Amino acid sequence: SFVDNWVKIGLPAKKKVKEAYPDLGEELQHAKCEM
């Protein structure tokens, strides 16, 4: 499922989110990682 896949990529996604969305605040970055 989407959730299962998201859990698998969750950790590496955190770094990618910071690189892909450097203009977002920490809270928005965290929200994208945790959703």
- pLDDT tens-digit profile of 1-35? 777 877 777 777 777 877 887 777 777 766 766 66
pLDDT at 21: 76
Query: In the prediction, which pLDDT does 29 show?
Result: 61
Query: Which range of residues forms the domain containing residue 19?
Result: 2-34
- For residue 17 the two structure tokens come to 């989110």
21: Cβ contacts below 8 Å, ≥ 6 apart: 28, 29, 32
Number of independent structural domains in the chain: 1
The confidence score (pLDDT) of residue 35 equals 60
Distance (Å, rounded) from C-alpha 11 to C-alpha 14?
6
